[in-house]
């Protein structure tokens, strides 16, 4: 593996045939070589514009200490690919990706969001005077939004109990949706969306599987999530919707154009009326998750 990669890296402009040959050679060896060899391969190919796509994808899906050279320097990883990696691997990859020389602001914000969410240990929730179901994660989320706002210098003091009560279960809902979106198949996300938005299961499934994300965007906006949280969920659930930077920009523009009140009115009038919240009891049991094969794609 080392010899093949070294020889490939010495080529000034490898042909498609040579790129394919390296991919075919590396595939059967990948799971047999030690981690140190994979680190070497990632380092040698980190700045190459000709790295075989399948090999690049497998290296980037390794632990952050192996994938780091590629995550930091590879010119083949666009913003959508980087966000997809963060969606799949979480904070460890996000911390490394933030070290790239020119990082898109959305990636930085998603990384900050993950850092803030992970900062509060669960045992601290019991020490807060607000109900346990609300927790201190709400406070962390709100402080993050203050940090990212244009007038962050004007933000002073901590949140009042009233504001914490208004924020309610937002962060709890986000954590539930994020965990479901990162599952091996899409069934947990259908179920989590139905539960958090209080929709019939079939309606939530229809929204999540639609050809466009317009209805999903409305459902997420009704939960009063931040735009970074909403994008992380949408990208984790369907990363192929965001192949280029303009797709990310369009999603954020659409999200900002919808008010929370308008989104909630749409949910109430179009998706809940006539269905009844008792329909949520028809959710399939969690043990059926393995029957669904729609997996996340890179």
Express each pLDDT in 173-224 by its tens digit. Answer: 888 898 888 887 888 999 999 999 989 999 999 998 888 888 999 999 999 8
pLDDT in tens, 262-284: 888 888 888 865 444 434 334 44
pLDDT in tens, 71-93: 999 999 988 889 888 888 888 99
Report residue 223 as tokens: 């939960």
Q: Are the C-beta atoms of 180 and 189 separated by less than 8 Å?
A: yes
Q: Are the C-beta atoms of 37 and 59 separated by less than 8 Å?
A: no
Amino acid 115: pLDDT: 83
Instruction: Enumerate residues 6+ apart whose C-beta is below 8 A from 211.
Output: none
Q: Are the C-beta atoms of 59 and 42 separated by less than 8 Å?
A: yes
- Position 110 confidence tier, pLDDT thresholds 50, 70, 90: confident
| Cα separation values, 163 from 26, 143, 144, 189, Å | 55, 12, 15, 29
Q: Taking each helix axis from N to C terminus, what angle separates 105-119 and 227-237, rounded to the nearest 10 degrees?
A: 100
Amino acid 158: pLDDT: 32
Which carries the bigger pLDDT value, residue 274 or residue 56? 56
Amino acid 273: pLDDT: 56
Task: Give CA–CA dist 188/297, Å, rounded.
Answer: 16
pLDDT in tens, 17-44: 999 999 999 999 999 999 999 999 999 9
pLDDT in tens, 117-157: 776 555 543 444 433 333 333 433 344 344 334 333 333 33
Burial group, residue 48, by CB count within 10 angstroms (0-12, 13-18, 19+): buried
């Amino acid at each position: 593996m080392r010899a093949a990669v070294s020889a490939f890296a010495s080529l000034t402009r490898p042909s498609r045939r040579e790129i394919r040959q390296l991919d075919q050679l590396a595939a059967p060896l990948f799971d047999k070589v030690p981690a140190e060899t994979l680190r070497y391969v990632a380092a040698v190919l980190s700045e190459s514009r000709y790295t075989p796509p399948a090999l690049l994808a497998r290296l980037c899906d390794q632990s952050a200490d192996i994938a780091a050279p590629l995550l930091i320097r590879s010119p083949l990883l666009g913003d959508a690919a980087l966000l997809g990696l963060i969606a799949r691997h979480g904070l460890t990859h996000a911390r490394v990706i933030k070290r790239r020389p020119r990082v898109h602001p959305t990636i930085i914000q998603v990384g900050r969001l993950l850092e803030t969410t992970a900062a509060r240990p669960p045992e601290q929730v019991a020490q807060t005077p607000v109900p346990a179901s609300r927790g201190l994660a709400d406070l962390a989320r709100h402080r993050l939004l203050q940090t990212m706002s244009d007038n962050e210098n004007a933000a002073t003091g901590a949140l009042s109990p009233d504001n914490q009560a208004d924020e309610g279960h937002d962060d709890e809902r986000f954590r539930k949706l994020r965990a479901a979106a990162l599952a091996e198949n899409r069934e947990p996300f259908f179920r989590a969306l139905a539960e958090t938005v209080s929709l019939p299961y079939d309606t939530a499934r229809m929204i999540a599987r639609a050809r466009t994300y317009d209805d999903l965007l409305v459902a997420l906006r009704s939960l009063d999530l931040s735009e970074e949280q909403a994008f992380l969920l949408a990208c984790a659930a369907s990363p192929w919707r965001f192949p280029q930077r303009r797709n990310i920009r369009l999603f954020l523009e659409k999200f900002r154009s919808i008010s929370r009140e308008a989104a909630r009115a749409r949910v109430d009038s179009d998706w809940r009326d006539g269905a009844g919240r008792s329909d949520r009891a028809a959710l399939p049991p969690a043990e059926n998750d393995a029957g669904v094969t729609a997996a996340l794609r890179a």
